Amino acid sequence: MTVRGKLRVYLGAAPGAGTTVRMFDEARRRAGRGTDVVVGPSGGLDVDALLARAPQLAVVDGLARHWPGVERLLDAGIDVLSTLDMQDVDAVPDAVIRRAGQVELVDDGVAGPELRERALLWLADRVDKQLDAYRGPAWEVREKVVVALTGGPEGDALVRRAARIALRGRGADLLAVHVVRGDGLAEPDPAHLSRQRLLVEQLGGSFHQVVGDDVPAALLDFARGVNATQLVLGASRRGRLAQLVSRGVGATTIAGSGPIDVHLVTHEQARRGRARPARGGLTARRRLLGLALALAGLPALTVGLLSAGLSLPTDILAFLILAVGVALVGGLVPALVAAVAGFLLLNYFFTPPMHRFTVAERENLFALSAFVLVAVAVATVVDLAARRTREAAAASAEARTLSTLAGSVLHGDRPLPALLERVRESFALSGAALLLDGRVVVSAGLLDGPPTPVAADGSLVLSLYGHPLRPEDRRMVEAFAAHAAIALRQERLAAQAAEASALAEADKLRTALLSAVSHDLRTPLAAAKAAVGSLRSPDVSFSRADREELLATAEESLDKLTRLVTNLLDMSRLQAGALALSLQPVDVQDAVTLAGADLPGIARLRVPDDLPPVSADPALLDRILANLLENALHHTPPGAEVTTTAFATGETVEIHVIDHGPGVPAADRDRIFQPFQRLGDRDNTAGVGLGLALSRGLAEAMGGTLTPHDTPGGGLTMALTLRRAADSTMP
């Protein structure tokens, strides 16, 4: 199969840039190294002659004219040097230039700035396209670094190394992944994983967890799924013998990584072997029982079989049953004792020649050997099963504890106290405290006696009081400490978010206030100033009627300005909780009559004469009713009426201000009580939109409510509910 030749193009920024000279310099250099070089004529290219000559390198000046012939030469395995000017780039198919192994820009100073810039941009674009083609669809412009975590102590070093690699990649994304074995055999340390997750997030990365029995395949699937460019792994913790048996995760991952760069990072735990859990198989009590069964059962069985006079196979089966029973009770060590002692007893008392430790027949030797092997195999399986059972039970207990811990942290309003209380209860401690730089941040229970410190994160320490920790409990406590560090960070973030939310709300309120009052305060000020200025003008003589009208305008504008300022001050006092109240019995009929005295259009007032008084601040109640009546009048069409009714219901009195205007949709009824909200208004003459917001705030300050309802037949009914005065009784 013919290998395609290589094309090298000398790209000129402008005609006369020196591409031909540079091309022939390269041809002479290669000829000097022994390359067979043939120069094709500049006037015409005899492709057939060149193919018959079959040189190693053909020199063809002018790719724009001869590119079909150049393609034939390349297909025949002949390397080609050619030239191309920027003005002729469009004459050459892009596929031809894209297949060029090298494109060299030539500019001997003849090109102007515009041509030079165009050539550089074209060349840069071509390089980007080639890079994208090389990387393929799985690559992205932005680097992504994935670090694999096993849950071991080396994870901290791996995360920091991966972060440095990402930093060198000009802001590359950092992702950490932990593969959970589906068979549950690999048991990561939850404290290490929690701490490493926190470290990853502090470094600006993200933590991920996937499930898979084949760890290298799971890692590569995840890396390809996120379009990772680099994968960071820790050097194997297995010993040399284990690495001879199988290649391990690192070597297997490298073999299948493809275009993804894999970094194997050494660490202190490399080749030290995996840390074995401190949990044994069977308990010491069961081992002692098994040993006692072997020591007592073997002599008894021997005496019984000697008196029975059975055959040798039957004797071997009897001793095997005893060995299996010892294995089930006591595990590996007692079973080994029973197997070896049983072998010796069978050899001495039951195998010819009798009373000698020799075996005359090969069949008997095989039977005795099989007896020992079966007994040892059964004992090993029983011991391993017991170990796995205890490990599974312990892991299940840890999982339940961590699940309960996570639930208490997630669902509690104060996660840190809940976490510390959970630590104290889980390990029967008298108290627990979280210390930051030696200072108690939060505590639970009694902090008496010498503390047992457990590092959480940096200067954060979890101190436990009551009794020393058992070695098997320390790992779980470290997981609690890591959760405490996360919970503390969450509390700080929540506090910062609340502070930011309050600042944002205040900023929103300030912006709305400025937007509203920029017109509504300026308008009455401008009207009053214009009226007063006109009256003071020495150049104009006003009639008495004109002066009265100007004075009325100034007074009306100043009254409007006073109401606006008063509403703003009352709203600020409400929000600050500094509104002073003077609650006293108030007659509802008098209050409604007084509030509507200066408002035209109040046609109907239906308040029973025997209505009990309400407990309210008279001035604030007047403000509420005036705002409600003014708002109802503003939205009532000409010819319609505003009706005010009141009635007693149990311990409260309801006052309804009813209009027959356009009403308010149910979805917008909460919005009408927001400050500076003028829902449905089409002009800027209705105030700053504080009336209803202030009215609801004043009503709630007096222990009442203000709620909107639909008016039958169309419109809006505002229902003000207040408590009855304490000294009033139902009529």
Residue 264 bridge partners (DSSP):
233
Q: 7-135, what's its fold? A: Rossmann fold (3.40.50)
| Single-letter residue type at 54 | A
| Mean local confidence (pLDDT), 283-304 | 86
- For the cut 80, the answer to whether the pLDDT of residue 323 exceeds it is yes
Q: Which CATH number fits domain 580-723: 3.40.1000.10, 3.40.50.720, 3.30.565.10, 3.30.420.40?
A: 3.30.565.10
Q: What confidence score (pLDDT) does residue 684 get?
A: 41
- For the cut 50, the answer to whether the pLDDT of residue 277 exceeds it is no
| 55 pLDDT tier (thresholds 50, 70, 90) | very high
Question: Range with the lowest mean pLDDT among 47-51, 232-236, 459-463?
Answer: 459-463
| Mean local confidence (pLDDT), 179-188 | 62
Contact 625, 655 (CB under 8 A): yes
More confident position, 497 or 186? 497
Q: What confidence score (pLDDT) does residue 271 get?
A: 53
Smallest CA-to-CA distance from 627 within 570, 711, 712 is with: 570
Q: What confidence score (pLDDT) does residue 279 get?
A: 44
- For the cut 50, the answer to whether the pLDDT of residue 472 exceeds it is yes
- For the cut 80, the answer to whether the pLDDT of residue 724 exceeds it is yes
Smallest CA-to-CA distance from 196 within 209, 186, 210, 185 is with: 209
More confident position, 682 or 228? 228
Q: pLDDT tens digits, residue range 241-252?
A: 555 556 678 888
Residue 411: Cβ-neighbour burial (10 angstroms; 0-12, 13-18, 19+)? exposed
| 185 pLDDT tier (thresholds 50, 70, 90) | very low
Q: What confidence score (pLDDT) does residue 1 get?
A: 59
Question: Range with the lowest mean pLDDT among 5-19, 146-160, 367-381?
Answer: 367-381
d(CA 629, CA 601): 10
Q: Tell me how far apart the terminal alpha carbons of the chain are, to the nearest angstrom.
A: 113
| Mean local confidence (pLDDT), 4-11 | 89
Contact 464, 427 (CB under 8 A): yes
For residue 462, the 8-state DSSP code is E
d(CA 453, CA 455): 7
| Mean local confidence (pLDDT), 282-290 | 80
Contact 382, 331 (CB under 8 A): yes
Reading the block at residue 364, the tokens are 């008997």
SS3 for 247-275 is CHHHHHHHHHCCCCEEEEECCCCCCCCCC
d(CA 411, CA 407): 6
Matching fold, domains 7-135 and 580-723: no
- For the cut 60, the answer to whether the pLDDT of residue 309 exceeds it is yes
Q: pLDDT tens digits, residue range 108-146?
A: 666 666 666 666 666 665 655 555 555 554 444 568 899
Reading the block at residue 206, the tokens are 């993200």
- For the cut 80, the answer to whether the pLDDT of residue 692 exceeds it is no
Q: How many residues does the chain have?
A: 731
d(CA 483, CA 409): 9
| Mean local confidence (pLDDT), 355-377 | 76
Question: Range with the lowest mean pLDDT among 115-124, 150-159, 506-515, 592-601?
Answer: 506-515
Distant-in-sequence, close-in-space partners of 538: CB < 8 Å, separation ≥ 6:
none
Determine the 3-state secondary structure of 57 from DSSP: strand
Return the CA Rg of the chain.
46
Contact 183, 213 (CB under 8 A): yes
Predicted model pTM: 0.37
Max mean pLDDT among 95-109, 170-184, 506-520, 641-655 falls in 641-655
d(CA 447, CA 292): 47
The H or E element spanning position 168 is helix 155-168
Structural domain spans, the chain: 7-135, 144-265, 284-387, 412-495, 522-562, 580-723
Question: Range with the lowest mean pLDDT among 341-355, 419-433, 507-521, 712-726?
Answer: 507-521
State whether the Cα torsion 166-169-171-173 is positive or negative.
Answer: negative
d(CA 263, CA 266): 10
Q: What confidence score (pLDDT) does residue 59 get?
A: 92
- For the cut 70, the answer to whether the pLDDT of residue 274 exceeds it is no
| 521 pLDDT tier (thresholds 50, 70, 90) | low
Please give the mean pLDDT across all residues of the chain: 77
Contact 557, 524 (CB under 8 A): yes
Strand-strand pairing, 431-436 and 439-445: antiparallel
- For the cut 90, the answer to whether the pLDDT of residue 57 exceeds it is yes
Reading the block at residue 549, the tokens are 């009208």
More confident position, 464 or 270? 464
> CA-CA distances (angstroms) from residue 703 to 140, 647, 706, 720, 722?
62, 18, 10, 11, 7
Distant-in-sequence, close-in-space partners of 247: CB < 8 Å, separation ≥ 6:
255
Q: In what order do the strands lie in the sheet with 7-12?
A: 37-39, 57-60, 79-85, 7-12, 102-106
Q: Which residue is it, tokens 């409604």?
A: 592
Q: What confidence score (pLDDT) does residue 27 get?
A: 92
More confident position, 190 or 626? 626
For domain 144-265, say whether CATH 3.40.50.620 is its number: yes
> CA-CA distances (angstroms) from residue 97 to 63, 220, 274, 304?
10, 35, 55, 97
| 369 pLDDT tier (thresholds 50, 70, 90) | confident
